[in-house]
Amino acid sequence: MAQTQADDFQQTPTRLYSLDALRGFDMFWIMGADALFQSLHEAVPGSGILKVIADQLEHPLWNGFHFYDLIFPLFLFMAGVSTPFSVGRELEKGKTRSQLLLRVIKRGLILVILGLIANNGLQLKPLADIRFPSVLGRIGIAYMFANIIYLYSKEVAQMAWFWALLIGYWLLLKFTSAPGFHPGDLTPEGNFASYIDRTILPGHLYVPFPDGRPNMHDPEGLFSTIPAISTGLLGILTGITLKKHNLTQIQKTGRMAIVGVIFIILALIWNFDFPINKNLWTSSFVLLVGGISLLLMSLFYYVIDVLGHQKWAFFFRVIGMNSILIYMSGKFIRWEYTVNGFFKWLVQWAGDPWGAVVFAICLLLIKWLFLHFMYKKKVFLRV
């Protein structure tokens, strides 16, 4: 595939500034911005705008969509966007598919291992106490399979895989269920994906049954990773578009934006039959978050790479260049201790309820300064 697509590619930078900035914007929300806006809402309870923002920074209980649901799939989408600039570049340099296949599998497995550490820490635990599904684990598995499809198929076939996985997953959940439930049951107890997870996965799942029994459902379960592969593939197809020289930058921006709007409309229509649900990573959810991801990518790409306005995005780029590091750092660094060590006086001076707001701001500041130091030293955690 690399040979047939190489003629359509131009000499592009190995990293898109807009992609790093968007990745940083994504990570910004889970490295402390969510806590900042939640504390602001508590400090100013009468503000309707802050209440809306605070609500959007929490996951719905089951069906539905909030902004917070976008963070995880947007990161996976961007991992896909980077593929043509990394794996594709190595193909163009003459690396064989077999060599790159090993690299892709290795990266996927490393992410799965990091996910295990993020969930369970480094101490040994009984098997029953280990949670195997994880955010990084899903990214690793979906990234791996999406990249394998990229390595061994052409662009049209990648599009076919994208839709086949979504439609196949929809049909599976529509005509199956857990034992004792009617076909197409999409409740936490009755859906087929959760049933498969609790049947085959060792350890424990994230969500218990309503009666207190463990292991009902896991939002990062194995079976619902199937449609997540399509999220990665959409990112890869977007990266391929961004590398093509037969499209102008404006055409690339427009194509991403138009497809993004179409996907959102299709998602809202599909929602009537297959509800938008992050817990199950439903096909309608893939289209919705894919559409929003495309709109954000087109906006960041247009403003940063087309118009050249980069300075404002430096704050986010510093985060985006070390996204895995800041995600994993909380397992090894007690960031709240650093805030108490340096800014406890400021938090106390602010008093209640504004002390929580000041604490959240200081936490964000310390994390960003840490990432900025690593950025200046050119130290990046790459998988």
Residue 382: pLDDT band with limits 50, 70, 90: confident
Q: What is the DSSP letter of 244?
A: B
Predicted local distance difference test score (pLDDT) of residue 7: 38
Q: Name, in order, each residue with C-beta under 8 angstroms of 376's C-beta and a sequence gap of 6 or more.
A: none
Q: Name, in order, each residue with C-beta under 8 angstroms of 369's C-beta and a sequence gap of 6 or more.
A: none
pLDDT in tens, 267-278: 999 999 999 999
Is the per-residue pLDDT at 353 higher than 80? yes
What's the whole-model pTM score?
0.92
Q: What six digits make up the tokens of 214?
A: 């463990």
C-alpha–C-alpha distance, residues 111 and 133, integer Å: 11
Give the number of other CB atoms < 10 A from CB of residue 54. 18
pLDDT in tens, 304-347: 999 999 999 999 999 999 999 999 988 888 888 888 888 888 88
Using CA atoms in the order 331, 226, 221, 234, what is the torsion angle rounded to 10 degrees? 40
Is the per-residue pLDDT at 4 higher than 70? no
The arithmetic mean of pLDDT across residues 203-230, rounded, is 92
SS3 assignment for 110-137: HHHHHHHHHHHCCCCCCHHHCCCCCHHH
Predicted local distance difference test score (pLDDT) of residue 183: 95
Give the number of other CB atoms < 10 A from CB of residue 280. 26
C-alpha–C-alpha distance, residues 51 and 37, integer Å: 9
Determine contact, residues 136/108, Cβ cutoff 8 Å. no
Predicted local distance difference test score (pLDDT) of residue 121: 84
β-bridge mates for residue 207, sequence order: 217
Token pair 């090993």 is at which residue?
Answer: 102
Predicted local distance difference test score (pLDDT) of residue 308: 93
Using CA atoms in the order 87, 88, 89, 94, what is the torsion angle rounded to 10 degrees? 90
Q: Name, in order, each residue with C-beta under 8 angstroms of 175's C-beta and a sequence gap of 6 or more.
A: 183, 184
- Scanning the chain, the segments in alpha helix (DSSP H) are 2-6, 17-28, 34-43, 48-56, 71-92, 97-120, 135-152, 155-174, 192-200, 225-243, 249-270, 283-300, 314-320, 323-329, 335-350, 354-376
Residue 9: pLDDT band with limits 50, 70, 90: very low
Residue 2: pLDDT band with limits 50, 70, 90: very low
At 93, the amino acid letter reads: K
pLDDT in tens, 357-380: 999 999 999 999 999 999 999 988
- Top-confidence residue, 213 or 383: 213
Residue 5: pLDDT band with limits 50, 70, 90: very low
pLDDT in tens, 114-158: 999 998 888 888 888 899 999 999 999 999 999 999 999 999 999
pLDDT in tens, 23-54: 999 999 999 999 999 999 999 988 889 999 99
**pLDDT, mean over the chain:** 92
Nearest to 227 by CA among 295, 124, 291, 141: 141
pLDDT in tens, 56-95: 999 999 999 999 999 999 999 999 999 999 998 999 898 9
Is the per-residue pLDDT at 1 higher than 60? no
> How much of the chain, in percent, has pLDDT values that exceed 90?
77
Which of 174-178, 184-188, 205-209, 272-276 has the least mean pLDDT? 205-209
C-alpha–C-alpha distance, residues 155 and 161, integer Å: 10
- Judged by DSSP in three states, 217 sits in strand
